[in-house]
Structures are given as structure tokens and as C-alpha cells.
Amino acid sequence: MTFPKVADCVDVFESLWPPALAESWDSIGLAVGDPDAEVRSILLALDPMDSVIAEAVVLGADLVFNHHPLLLKPVQTVNASTLKGGAIHTLIGHGIALFNAHTNADSARGGVSDVLISLLGIEDAEPLVPHRSADAAAGLEQGPVTGIGRVGDLESPTAVREIARTLSARLPRTTTGVRIAGDPGAEVTRVAVCGGAGDSLFDAVRDSGAEVYITADLRHHPATEARDTANRHTGNPHLIDVSHWASESVWLEAAATELEAEFASRGFTVGLQRSAVNTDPWVERY
């Protein structure tokens, strides 16, 4: 058996989710770890929470692959008594590397939004916000365009409430559930999605001609303004709000499949395991 080193894992990750596809504000890549350390086991998770790191320790994982970054915002100290510092100390103390692919995994083909829209049977979606310059920087001038969000067409007109019900059945169950703003009975064909928080993309959604927009973390003011704008024109897009965690966690299975194939193609043996920890912060409602 040939086990990869941390540096080999980074090469694999970056081949699937090129750093050039990440947004300029993002923090991606290897946050903790020795590039020369051997990796026999990788734990895949959405969030680098203490509970996930503790799980990695118990499982004996050598590397944690996250979607969300541990160090998105700058820190002034890695004092072990601080939240970030404590996580870093635990990881280093147990010889566990930490890597994340965030908005580069959102933009890449087969990424977060592709998996989300595929739950509705749409397999030929296009980016809401194409990243042609990022594609060139990543050496992806040929082939499908990458970018944030996805938009595509259903096989036949479908009521907004039926789309919401499909998502409720196919996404992991959450306390916050699935919510609709607009007309639940409206029949739509063109669908836009953005895994995670997508209320910054309303202009792109309208430009795409989408009749319904599925995303997470929709706040009161952006949602009401979007509906007011819709009502002054065609009534579109209707909105479907889902859990941030649920909208992105479904990608981890697809990521594991891609990783397994890529490691094997390079002659590496490594165990891949998806975290059993539910990091959705909402646990109860009344």
C-alpha cells in the first residue's frame, strides 16, 4: 500500500477544486498540518467545530477535510484558551492536518450547487455567475464554465410547493425545515440555486430568468425586497429557503466519491469517512 502525504492530499484537493476558483475574500487550503506527514485516514465534514475535531481524534484521522474554513477571519493569537487557538492546538497535538475547499468547491463543476440542483433532476445546469477569468487562471479554458450558483430547467412545469416538498424529502431533516416566499401554487420550470447563503445573487437570479430561487439563510429584508421587486414585474422569482447546513452537506458524499477516484488513479490508498456530527446549530423550535 502507498499512503499519501499531506502534500499529496493537497495536490488531489486542488486538482478537483482549483484555488483560482475561490472568491477573493475567501480562506482556503491547508490551515494546519505538516506537508510531509503520512495520511492514512481522512474525515470529511462541513464545519471545523470542536465536536468534529474531537471525532477526528477518536477515529484516528490524519486529516480533516472541511468545506467551511477555520480561519476565515484573521486572528491575533493561537492561545489554546481561545476558540481558534484551542482547535489548532488540538489538531497539532494529535498530528491531524486541516484543509478546506470553500467557494472553490461552490464554483467547481460537480460542486455544492450542482449537487443541490441535481436533487430536482436537473443535471445540465449552468452557473448563475460564471467565472471565466477564474477558469483561465485555473487552466480551465476548455470545457464547462464554472461559477457561483446554478440555473437550469425542470422537465415539466412544477408547483413551487412540490419543489419544496421534494427538497424536504431529499435534504437532511433539519429543525428550520423548508420555507416558501411567494405563491406556493405557482407552476415554474426555470430554477436557480445557491448552496449556502445566496441573498447576494438576486440580480443574477433575475437576469437568468429563473422563476424560483432556492438558497439558504434568507434574511427578512433581502427576502421582502426581492418579493416586492418580483411583484412589480413578473411575480418571479418565488423563493425557497432551506437550511445552510443541509444545502451544503449533501455535497460531501459527492466529494468523497471524487476523492476516492482521484486517490486511486494516483496509486494511493487512503480511508475516507464522512463525519457523523450534525453541525446544524438549530436543534429545536416552538
User: Please, are residues 277 and 11 in contact by the beta-carbon 8 Å criterion?
Assistant: no
Fold of 6-104+250-274: 3.40.1390
Mean pLDDT of the 196-211 span: 96
Could you report the per-residue pLDDT of 138-153, keeping only the tens digit for each?
Answer: 666 665 689 999 999 9
Q: Residue 149: its pLDDT value, please?
A: 97
User: Please, are residues 13 and 79 in contact by the beta-carbon 8 Å criterion?
Assistant: no
Assign 228 a pLDDT band (cuts: 50, 70, 90). very high
- Domain range annotation of the chain: 6-104+250-274, 120-247
Residues 6+ positions from 56 with CB-CB distance below 8 Å? 43, 64, 94, 96
What pTM value is reported for the model?
0.94
Assign 137 a pLDDT band (cuts: 50, 70, 90). low
Shortest CA distance to 256 belongs to which of 10, 16, 7, 1?
16
User: In whole numbers, what is the pLDDT of the chain averaged over residues?
Assistant: 95
For the cut 70, the answer to whether the pLDDT of residue 168 exceeds it is yes
Q: Give the DSSP letter string of 21-45.
A: GS-TT---EEEE--TTSB-SEEEEE
Q: Do domains 6-104+250-274 and 120-247 have the same CATH topology?
A: yes
What is the rounded radius of gyration, in angstroms, for the C-alpha atoms of the chain? Answer: 20
Assign 13 a pLDDT band (cuts: 50, 70, 90). very high
Q: Residue 1: its pLDDT value, please?
A: 84
Mean pLDDT of the 106-135 span: 92
At residue 115, the 3 state secondary structure works out as helix
Q: What angle, 0 to 180 degrees and rounded to 10, lies between the N-to-C axes of helices 83-93 and 50-59?
A: 10
For the cut 70, the answer to whether the pLDDT of residue 215 exceeds it is yes
Question: In the β-sheet with 187-197, what is the strand arrangement from edge to edge?
Answer: 126-130, 147-159, 187-197, 212-216, 238-242, 179-181
232 versus 278: the higher-pLDDT residue is 278
Mean pLDDT of the 48-53 span: 98
For the cut 80, the answer to whether the pLDDT of residue 232 exceeds it is yes
Residues 6+ positions from 211 with CB-CB distance below 8 Å? 186, 188, 189, 190, 191, 236, 237, 238
For the cut 90, the answer to whether the pLDDT of residue 131 exceeds it is no
Q: Residue 20: its pLDDT value, please?
A: 94
Residues 6+ positions from 169 with CB-CB distance below 8 Å? none
Residues 204 and 52: their CA atoms lie apart, in Å, by: 35
User: What type of residue sits at position 157?
Assistant: P
Please check whether the domain covering 120-247 is classified as CATH 3.40.1390.30.
yes
83-87 long-range Cβ contacts below 8 angstroms, 24+ apart: 86/50, 87/48, 87/50, 87/53
